[in-house]
């Protein structure tokens, strides 16, 4: 059987639509790849081969009937285990939710299926999707296919590891503090955090989310090419009335000057030399592609929005979250909550009001900045991807991890889109750059990302390293 799993989503969909390859052949190839590499990395934690092949057969039948099967015709994709897929448990990495079986699909799953995608399997995440590492007590540890000694990222670590290893051309992830962007960075692929409201979200199997998550958590794609991110975003962004925050914004905005800001140490970030070099090199690639790139000493505030995002994310309902984590007994979840207690408590009505009020002020500053510079290049993290489990070593290591993730945590509070573009390797450790644009201008992130990608990226798919 041919290695169809090596192809980009765009190329594979074109072959399937033209009937040169059947969706069932593509699905069978993807299942073989999953069987070959998943035991080494534990990226996919639930899949049903018969259902995968049945989905593919329905795509083939639609093509045979000359029906429009969508941009992702027959492309195998994975979805994160924290969203509803009918008949599967929405575990979110929790033993407590092993029996939380979804009776319907989330909007993301429905929209991917409408675009012709075949849902290959469900990918791992840390308990409660809290960490930039992917371990839990129900599904076990996910390993980075490039180097098992470094984190695969989190919380969409299974998604990043899967797409890097060729288990699906596209992976779904979610992001409230970097959970798409960081796994892409750690695994050497690309990952797009869309604007809040771009991709409809709803899990009927779970209680309604608190306001912090409602206004900052998003679903988005990880992929091995920028082109595949573009196709995936179009598929995911379909209308769904179940999400009152969904916005019918166009995917392509008006032309803007090809002008970018570049900042190596935004808001005083203690960026290591290897990351500075990667961001500077990405800026040079943009210049070579005809962009005007201006290096700045700093940006609008990141520290304050990062602090307020942490409060909204973890402080709202903190005691209930802590009680659930104690029932679960997950060390990483408990470390996250206990380690941030002083940052988020007390969280009363006054603190809540202040956070939302400051959000408007800080977002305004950023929107005005992005009027001058349509895109911003900055680090994804202050450091290269961390040694796996670093946040559990001691208090200093926990603080180091959170300090380095400042550029990721702040962006959701501001409601902005951001893209991780992988650019190279330091040894076998991936490195890359984060691109930020104004609201609903993911197209600008992708435009700049494509220019940077053209300068070279780490090869994928990869065979997992032992």
For the chain, which residues make up each domain, given as ranges? 4-453
Of 56-60, 151-155, 210-214, 276-280, minimum mean pLDDT range = 210-214
Whether 258 is a known active-site residue: answer no
Average pLDDT over every residue of 248-272: 98
Q: Is the pLDDT of residue 280 over 70?
A: yes
Q: Is the pLDDT of residue 39 over 90?
A: yes
Q: Is the pLDDT of residue 201 over 80?
A: yes
In whole numbers, what is the pLDDT of the chain averaged over residues?
97
Looking at residue 465, what is its pLDDT?
87
pLDDT confidence bin for 10, thresholds 50/70/90: very high
Active-site hit among 22, 106, 156, 179: 179
Query: In this predicted model, what pLDDT tens digit does every residue of 115-132 receive, in sequence order?
Result: 999 999 999 999 999 999
Angle, helices 9-17/49-64, rounded to nearest 10 degrees: 50
Whether 143 is a known active-site residue: answer no
The number of residues making up the chain comes to 466
Q: What are φ and ψ of residue 20, in 5° steps? A: -80, -25
Question: What is the DSSP secondary structure assignment for residue 56, as one 8-state letter?
Answer: H
Q: What is the CATH number of domain 4-453?
A: 3.90.1300.10
Q: What are φ and ψ of residue 338, in 5° steps? A: -70, -35
The pTM (predicted TM-score) of the whole model is 0.98
Looking at residue 234, what is its pLDDT?
98
Beta pairing, strands 76-80 & 118-123: parallel
pLDDT confidence bin for 181, thresholds 50/70/90: very high
Number of Cβ within 10 Å of residue 377's Cβ equals 26
pLDDT confidence bin for 161, thresholds 50/70/90: very high
Query: In this predicted model, what pLDDT tens digit does every residue of 310-355 receive, in sequence order?
Result: 999 999 999 999 999 999 999 999 999 999 999 998 999 999 999 9
Please list, in sequence order, all residues whose beta carbon lies within 8 angstroms of the beta carbon of residue 449, skipping any fewer than 6 positions away.
Answer: 190, 226, 229, 419, 421, 435
Looking at residue 1, what is its pLDDT?
60
Q: Is the pLDDT of residue 65 over 90?
A: yes
Whether 179 is a known active-site residue: answer yes
Looking at residue 144, what is its pLDDT?
98
Active-site hit among 80, 129, 156, 381: 80
Active-site hit among 29, 129, 155, 381: 155
Average pLDDT over every residue of 141-164: 98
């Amino acid at each position: 059987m041919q290695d169809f799993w090596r192809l980009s989503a765009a190329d594979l969909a074109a072959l399937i639509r033209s009937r040169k390859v059947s969706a069932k052949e593509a699905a069978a190839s993807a299942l073989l790849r999953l069987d070959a590499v998943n035991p080494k990395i534990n990226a996919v934690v639930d899949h049903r081969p018969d259902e995968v092949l049945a989905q593919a057969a329905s795509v083939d039948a639609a093509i045979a009937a000359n029906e429009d099967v969508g941009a992702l015709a027959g492309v195998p994709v994975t979805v994160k285990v924290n969203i509803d897929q009918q008949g599967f448990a929405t575990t979110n990495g929790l033993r407590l939710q092993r029996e939380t079986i979804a009776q319907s699909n989330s909007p993301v799953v429905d929209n991917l299926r409408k675009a012709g995608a075949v849902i290959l399997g469900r990918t791992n995440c840390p308990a409660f999707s809290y960490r930039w590492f992917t371990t839990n007590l129900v599904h076990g540890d996910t390993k980075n296919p490039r180097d098992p000694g470094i984190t695969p990222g989190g919380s969409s670590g299974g998604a990043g590891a899967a797409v890097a290893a060729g288990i699906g051309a596209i992976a779904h992830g979610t992001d409230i503090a970097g959970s798409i962007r960081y796994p892409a960075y750690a695994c050497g692929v690309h990952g797009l955090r869309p604007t809040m409201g771009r991709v409809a979200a709803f899990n009927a199997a779970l209680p309604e989310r608190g306001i912090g998550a409602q206004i900052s958590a998003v679903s988005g794609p990880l992929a091995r090419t920028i082109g595949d991110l573009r196709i995936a975003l179009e598929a995911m962004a379909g209308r769904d009335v179940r999400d009152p925050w969904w916005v019918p914004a166009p995917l392509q905005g008006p032309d803007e000057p090809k002008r970018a800001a570049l900042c190596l140490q935004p808001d005083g970030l203690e960026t290591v030399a290897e990351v500075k070099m990667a961001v500077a090199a990405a800026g040079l690639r943009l210049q070579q592609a005809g962009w005007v790139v201006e290096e700045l000493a700093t940006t609008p505030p990141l520290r304050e929005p990062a602090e307020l995002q942490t409060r909204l994310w973890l402080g709202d309902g903190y005691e209930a979250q802590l009680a659930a984590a104690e029932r679960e007994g997950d060390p990483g979840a408990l470390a996250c909550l206990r380690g941030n207690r002083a940052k988020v408590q007390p969280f009363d009505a006054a603190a809540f009001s202040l956070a939302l009020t400051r959000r408007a002020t800080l977002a305004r500053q950023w929107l005005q900045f992005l009027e001058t510079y349509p895109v911003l290049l900055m680090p994804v993290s202050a450091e290269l991807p961390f040694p796996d489990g670093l946040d559990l070593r001691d208090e200093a290591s926990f603080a180091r991890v959170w300090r380095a993730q400042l550029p990721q945590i702040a962006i959701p509070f501001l409601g902005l889109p951001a893209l991780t573009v992988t650019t190279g390797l330091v040894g076998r450790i991936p490195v890359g750059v984060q691109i930020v644009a104004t609201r609903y201008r993911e197209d600008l992130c992708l435009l700049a990302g494509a220019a940077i990608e053209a300068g070279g990226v780490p090869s994928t798919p990869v065979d997992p390293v032992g």
